[in-house]
């Protein structure tokens, strides 16, 4: 510790004697708590206009680990200000059991670990606090708790999507475990939605998960997806996909699609725009192709649905946050054997029975 730095205990004594302590971390970092009595002031703002924030009196700076505050204090001293740095930063302050001010955000969400749980994600400028709140308030319906629904639901739960609805009528079979990672051996014979809910709640107990132990069809699809912000298709047959697509088109809800076959997979986003202006699933597959086998018949490399499911989860998060370019109008194809990705353009079909103008 040099003459220009203070220990946390020395800093608190100086603050009690009247010296100012400035927390120069970013907003997201401060969510985990601030040294009690400190004033929040982002480092870039301080260094851009020090005359606005500082006078002749000495001031102390604190960051997370003490590195940024030491550098900032040195710059301010070079500019003629009397600035000191708290050695070890907020981490050392907390380790010394000194008083901190907790974030109000934790209380408002009901999650005492909100800031810590999502800190890495909220540090992204495209997400931030506002984006994380969007995710917390979002509702996503996941049809299928198998090869695609398992990895996608895991990542959506981990990302903090606040309301998940799982639809599946199947039970866990031991042959599922090679790829359906939300289930474990002890779940064999259990309903997939019950098994998946248990694992997802263990991962993130602060979200809500609704389960529907039934098969989606034309008669119930509209009810099952009502109120959703995004629907994720993790089904494995064309009848369900067409029923889900028709309901999504009618409700104007984006549909994130994925499918796998042996060593290949593909994904897209449908209905993410004005009807007739963007393609729907039926624009790509007007009728069920002949000779298509499911995983039980054709086999599948276990990691392939994991890759496709994570792509689907990524597209869901982008849609909810309103960031990036989605796969709307694009079919992304993946081949694990040569590790190649191919993008193909999909155009809306004016004569489409689901989304066409006729």
Q: Which residues are catalytic?
A: 295
Angstrom distance (rounded) from CA 101 to CA 309:
40
How many whole angstroms separate alpha carbon 140 and alpha carbon 42? Answer: 35
Strands 264-270 and 330-335: antiparallel
296 phi/psi in degrees, rounded to 5: -65, -30
Q: What are the tokens at 135?
A: 């995710």
Query: Which of 63, 64, 58, 66 shows the shortest CA–CA distance to 84?
Result: 58
- Spell out the alpha helix ranges (H) of the chain: 8-16, 27-30, 43-48, 50-53, 67-78, 89-95, 104-109, 114-117, 119-122, 128-137, 149-159, 192-203, 221-225, 238-251, 281-284, 295-298, 303-321
Write the DSSP string, 117-130: HTHHHHTSTTTHHH
Q: Is 8 helix (H, G, I), strand (E, B) or coil?
A: helix
| Under 8 Å between Cβ of 313 and 151 | yes
DSSP SS3 for 225: helix
Q: What are phi and psi of 6, to 5 degrees?
A: -130, 150
Report the distance separating Cα 275 and Cα 281, nearest Å.
12
């Amino acid at each position: 510790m040099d003459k220009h730095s203070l220990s946390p205990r020395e800093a608190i004594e100086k603050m009690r004697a009247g010296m100012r302590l400035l927390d120069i971390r970013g907003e997201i970092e401060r969510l985990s708590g601030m040294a009690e009595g400190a004033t929040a002031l982002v480092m870039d703002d301080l260094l851009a206009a020090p005359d606005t924030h500082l006078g002749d009196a000495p001031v102390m700076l604190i960051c997370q680990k003490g590195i940024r505050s030491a550098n900032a204090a040195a710059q301010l001293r070079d500019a003629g200000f009397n600035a000191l740095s708290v050695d070890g930063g907020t981490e050392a302050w907390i380790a010394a059991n000194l008083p901190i001010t907790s974030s109000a955000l934790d209380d408002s969400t009901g999650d005492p670990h909100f800031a810590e749980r999502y800190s890495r994600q909220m540090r992204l400028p495209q997400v931030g606090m506002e984006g994380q709140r969007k995710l917390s308030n979002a509702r996503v319906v996941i049809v299928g708790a198998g090869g695609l629904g398992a990895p996608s639901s895991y990542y959506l739960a981990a990302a903090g999507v606040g309301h998940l609805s799982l639809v599946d009528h199947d039970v866990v079979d031991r042959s599922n475990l090679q790829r359906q990672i939300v289930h474990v051996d002890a779940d064999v014979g259990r309903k997939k939605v019950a098994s998946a809910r248990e694992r997802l709640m263990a991962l993130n107990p602060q979200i809500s998960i609704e389960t529907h132990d039934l098969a989606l069809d034309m008669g119930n699809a509209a009810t099952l997806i009502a109120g959703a912000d995004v629907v994720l298709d993790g089904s494995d047959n064309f009848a369900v996909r067409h029923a889900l697509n028709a309901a999504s088109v009618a409700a104007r809800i984006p549909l994130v699609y994925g499918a796998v076959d042996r060593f290949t997979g593909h994904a897209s986003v449908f209905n993410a725009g004005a009807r007739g202006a963007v393609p729907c699933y039926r624009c790509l597959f007007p009728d069920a192709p002949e000779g298509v086998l499911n995983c039980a018949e054709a086999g599948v490399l276990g990691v392939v649905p994991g890759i496709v499911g994570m792509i689907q989860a990524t597209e869901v998060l982008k849609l909810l946050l309103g960031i990036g370019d989605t796969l709307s109008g694009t079919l992304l194809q993946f081949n694990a054997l040569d590790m190649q990705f191919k993008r193909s353009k999909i155009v809306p079909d004016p004569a489409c029975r689901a989304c066409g103008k006729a």
